[in-house]
Amino acid sequence: MSEPTIVIEPVSPIIGCEVSGVDLSKPLSAFTIEALRDALLDYGVIFIRDQDISPAQQMTVAQAFGEPDEYPFVEGLPGYPCVTPVLKLAHETVNFGGLWHSDTTYQECPPMGTILHARTLPPVGGDTLFASMSAAYEALSDGLKEMLSGLKAVNSAHKSRVTDTRSYRVKDTGKDTQNSIMEALHPVVRTHPETGKKALYVNGAHTTRFEGMTVQESEGLLGFLFRHQVREEFTCRLRWTPGSIAFWDNRCTQHFPLNDYTGHERLLHRITLKGDVPR
């Protein structure tokens, strides 16, 4: 039996590609899994359109690339605890995760990747931006690279801006973790365990300060890094269509779901894959 013809088209010079010729509702061959993994490592995020799959099938896809994990703050779907509904109802004004971030970097082992499937979309709006942290690192001066080398930063689940973005879902389907201390220390510059590339590993949603420094002492340099790492030339934009899949490498990208569709419902199903300790 011949393998499918998989077509990969970059969506920007730096990050992101569209993949066609793949049907995720069917069992994936070793050839297809390898092709998708290579595309993920090459482009940071891959987009696959027109995928009519159930939560069970999304779980099967995720398991081909790693071990699914539960989100610590919100209950998953009934029978599928690792499938988190990323939902904004029509009357709500705040969207889930609505700021630039890498997923759950307050964990000792943050996710290696995330698979997001579009279920219900507004007629227009609700796009997601992605940014390459490898490109952001490479654009720094040699002097700043040297300064950041060896630095570590504290990442917390409880910065006020990010807790606000999950407030609606925590209220209706939240887990009993609100009083837990979720904090982790990670290198400011991370080396990708598969490609060996270096990437900035701080983000405005979770990073609070540098190790051994106060918040006030850290805010100047962190503020610069937060602005630098999402410069337009490091980004791409996904306009969601029904059935679209976005699969991103959480070790070297950030993302930002836009909140420009109040008055309309938006629902996506998210699965994160367990990662390793950042080095």
Active site residues: 101, 103, 255, 270
CA-CA-CA-CA torsion for 42, 105, 144, 221, nearest 10 degrees?
140
Burial environment of residue 89 by CB neighbours within 10 A (0 to 12, 13 to 18, 19 or more): exposed
The C-alpha atoms of residue 207 and residue 186 are separated, in whole angstroms, by: 9
The C-alpha atoms of residue 150 and residue 148 are separated, in whole angstroms, by: 6
List Cβ neighbours of 229 (8 Å cut-off, separation of 6 or more): 100, 131, 133, 136, 200, 202, 203, 254
Show the DSSP H helices in the chain as ranges. Answer: 30-43, 55-63, 133-138, 142-148, 160-165, 167-173, 215-228
What are the structure tokens assigned to 129, written together? Answer: 């931006």
Whether 206 and 106 have beta carbons less than 8 Å apart is answered as yes
The DSSP bridge pattern shows strands 45-48 and 17-20 to be parallel
The 10 Å Cβ neighbour count of residue 160 is 6
Question: Cα angle vertex 102, ends 101, 105, to 5°?
Answer: 115
Question: What does the H/E/C string look like for 226-269?
Answer: HHHCCCHHHEEEECCCCCCEEEEECCCEEEEECCCCCCCCEEEE
What are the structure tokens assigned to 245, written together? Answer: 């899949």
